[in-house]
Amino acid sequence: AQSVTQLDSQVPVFEEAPVELRCNYSSSVSVYLFWYVQYPNQGLQLLLKYLSGSTLVKGINGFEAEFNKSQTSFHLRKPSVHISDTAEYFCAVSDQAAGNKLTFGGGTRVLVKP
Amino acid sequence: EAGVAQSPRYKIIEKRQSVAFWCNPISGHATLYWYQQILGQGPKLLIQFQNNGVVDDSQLPKDRFSAERLKGVDSTLKIQPAKLEDSAVYLCASSSAANLNTEAFFGQGTRLTVV
């Protein structure tokens, strides 16, 4: 069975500082990995995804993530955050054995301070 | 392009009452998902439709939850009777196909409070 662990439930960060959100997964087969963002009172929006190929994935709004198979991680980074990046971020995993069903982590709330 | 529409946005009911949520996916999207997001947790898939057929309902509590997508377009999720632990945001999503190369688009959700 697949699972996702987001190690930090909350991450406070100052504007223009870098941020890294950690995500570790477990799965017995090849995986597909995703990061979603959820702004207050909104649905989820896809930031980026890793299906295959280059392990460094670039997404929208200046975010990027790196797939590390040996460490079973898919950490999300942004070199300089804005106030508008205040939101909750979810890591998700899927694999063909699960019928491409997404399993989400518990989320990391990012609070950007001026 | 219109997004995924859900209604109502908020609902408060007493335990043991019934409630229904409605979702209208993006036009032309064949795949529709219902997720339950309990406060402080990530979304959990309840049911997935491909057109008007169920692809996956393994995590749907079938003794009290039901969902339908009769004409392969909009969908209704029902809870009867509701329990306190059903308090959550119910998210609907749709995609043009049921594979991971196609993005799923989410609605704003319906926040249910059971008292």
Predicted confidence (pLDDT) per residue in B28-74, tens digit: 999 999 999 999 889 999 999 999 899 999 999 999 999 999 888 99
A8-17: per-residue pLDDT in tens?
999 999 999 9
Q: Distances from the Cα of A63 to the Cαs of A50, A71, A89, A110, in angstroms?
A: 13, 20, 11, 13
Identify all chain A residues contacting B40, using CB atoms and an 8 Å cutoff. 9, 106-107
CA angle at A12 for the pair A7 and A17, rounded to the nearest 5°: 110
| Average pLDDT over all residues of chain A | 91
Confidence class for position B10, pLDDT limits 50, 70, 90: very high
Return the closest-CA partner of residue B115 out of B11, B42, B7: B11
* Apex A4 CA angle, A34 and B93, nearest 5: 50
What is chain B's percent helix, strand, coil content, to nearest 5? 5, 50, 50
Quick one: pLDDT at residue A94?
84
Q: How many residues does chain B have?
A: 115
Judged by a CB distance cut-off of 8 A, whether residue B25 touches chain A is: no
| pLDDT number for residue B26 | 94
Residues in chain A whose Cβ is within 8 Å of chain B: 4, 9, 32, 41-46, 49, 51, 90, 92, 94, 99-102, 104-107
Under a CB-based contact definition with an 8 Å cutoff, are residues B4 and B19 in contact? Answer: no
Q: What angle do CA B31, B37, B39 make, to 5 degrees?
A: 165
Rounded Cα distance, B108 and A94, in Å: 23
CB proximity B97 to A under 8 Å: no
Name the residue type at position B4.
Answer: V
Which phi and psi (to 5°) does residue A98 adopt?
Answer: -90, 10
Phi and psi angles of residue B20, each rounded to the nearest 5 degrees, phi first: -135, 140
Strands A24-26 and B53-56: unpaired
Distances (CA, A) of B7 to B19, B35, B55, B103, B111: 12, 14, 23, 22, 10
